């Protein structure tokens, strides 16, 4: 990894050992690390992973020994009742459980069809036509019609 970052192994080892979002080394090498690993900006990715892990693991097990004060939890609200239509065209309502809501949050169909927030790929905001292209590709790749 040091070779890919065009740095010496001592500097890279220091980067790994002091992996914190406010680290000067991470600020310097974060963008290149993210590019190598294919995760966009590495510092942003690390914060996302750490904020997810903080909900699951004790703080002492997280890379870089983050504390709760190093992370920000972002809460969102999503509708818990959805209108559906059966095969006869009759409308009805479904109330999702908390677990279903959490699962639906990461459902690509929900993400691509919502209109409240921007849809991003890496750091690029997708246009409506690009979102339609993504939906077409997913349909071709994943649906067995």
Give the residue-averaged pLDDT of 115-131: 89
pLDDT value for 53: 59
Domain boundary among 70, 98, 114: 70
Residue with the larger pLDDT of the pair 108 and 17: 108
pLDDT in tens, 48-62: 776 665 555 554 544
Total domains in the chain come to 2
Residue with the larger pLDDT of the pair 61 and 102: 102
pLDDT in tens, 32-53: 888 888 888 777 777 777 666 5
**For every residue of 51-117, which 3-state class applies, written as one string?**
HHHHCCCCHHHCHHHCCHHHCCCCCCCCCCEEEEECCCCCEEEEECCHHHHHHHHCCHHHHHHCCCC
* Assigned domain for 76 exists: no
- Based on the fold, state whether residues 15 and 61 are members of the same structural domain: yes
Q: Indicate whether 29 pLDDT > 60.
A: yes
Domain boundary among 19, 37, 70: 70
Domain boundary among 23, 40, 70: 70
* Assigned domain for 3 exists: no
- Based on the fold, state whether residues 96 and 58 are members of the same structural domain: no
Segments forming the whole domain that contains residue 93: 81-142
pTM (two decimals):
0.43
């Amino acid at each position: 990894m040091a070779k890919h970052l065009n740095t010496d192994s001592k500097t890279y080892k220091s980067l790994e050992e002091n992996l914190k979002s406010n680290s000067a080394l991470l600020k310097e090498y974060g963008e290149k690390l993210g590019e190598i690993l294919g995760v966009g900006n590495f510092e942003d990715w690390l914060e996302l992973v750490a904020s997810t892990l903080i909900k699951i693991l004790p703080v002492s097990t997280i890379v870089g020994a983050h504390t709760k004060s190093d992370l920000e939890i972002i809460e969102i609200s999503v509708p818990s009742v959805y209108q559906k239509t059966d095969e006869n065209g009759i409308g009805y309502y479904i109330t999702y459980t908390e677990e279903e809501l959490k699962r639906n949050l990461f459902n690509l169909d929900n993400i691509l069809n919502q209109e409240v927030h921007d849809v991003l790929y890496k750091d690029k905001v997708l246009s409506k036509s690009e979102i339609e292209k993504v939906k077409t590709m997913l349909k071709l790749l994943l649906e067995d019609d």
